[in-house]
Amino acid sequence: MLLPLPDGDFKAYLFDCDGTITDSMPAHYRAWCAALGEWGAEFPEELFYAWGGRLVVDIIADLNERQGLSMPVAAVAARREELFQELLTEVEAVPGVLEHIEASYGRIPFAVVSGSTRESVTASLTALGLLDRFEVLVCAGDYARPKPDPEGYLLGARLLGVDPADCLVFEDTDLGVAAAEAAGMGYSRVPPPWAR
């Protein structure tokens, strides 16, 4: 089923990656639980989805603080990424978003704006055979302020050479939608896995 789009003559599409292009959130959650479990940390599923769009390092730091732990942030982040990469064969594209990509590819430019690492985004898109569809990848480390700050989306628009008001964002999280709105962009909300 094609996702409904807001009215407008958009000149570029900007996509979040995890949970938007790729139905990867269940795999990410499994990787998180396995990596954190090695340190005795817990990450309730409800909190995982509420924190969708946040940077991995910020999540680990906040879990340390909440649970009185001292997990090494870089090591846990690397382990989570390693475990996620092992699950990539299970990841599929989100059908309603994939249809928009296929219908508009070559007609307007696309960018990915993600809070995930470039390694993770590239691996996910490569696994789905979609990496070549995106002219621009804006990933964790490319911008200083994560969603809901609009910085990532504004950078994506600038790299595509398109005015923010002419961009349409595809997002699955509240933080991402807030970032799109703050950037002055239209958006299409991608429903969570249980609502598709």
Question: Is 142 a catalytic site residue?
Answer: no
SS3 168: strand
pLDDT at 53: 80
pLDDT at 1: 59
* Enclosing H/E stretch for 187: strand 186-189
- Both tokens of 44, joined, read 């309730």
Q: Are strands 186-189 and 167-171 parallel, antiparallel or unpaired?
A: parallel
pLDDT at 196: 62
Q: Give me the tens of pLDDT residue by residue for the chain, a chain 196 residues long.
A: 578 999 999 999 999 999 999 999 899 999 999 999 999 999 999 999 889 888 899 999 999 999 999 999 999 999 999 999 999 999 999 999 999 999 999 999 999 999 988 999 999 999 999 999 999 999 999 999 999 999 999 999 999 999 999 999 999 999 999 999 999 999 999 987 767 6
pLDDT at 172: 93
pLDDT at 185: 98
Distance of CA 142 to the CA centre of its chain: 14
pLDDT at 22: 95
pLDDT at 154: 98
pLDDT at 3: 87
- Both tokens of 38, joined, read 């090695």
Whole-number Å distance between alpha carbons of 55 and 147:
9
CB 168 within 8 A of CB 8: yes
CB 171 within 8 A of CB 16: yes
pLDDT at 192: 78
Identified catalytic residue from 9, 16, 149, 172 = 16
For residue 14, the 8-state DSSP code is E
What does the chain come to in residues? Answer: 196
Q: Look up the pTM and report it.
A: 0.89
**Structural domains for the chain:** 12-23+93-195 (3.40.50.1000), 25-89 (1.10.150)
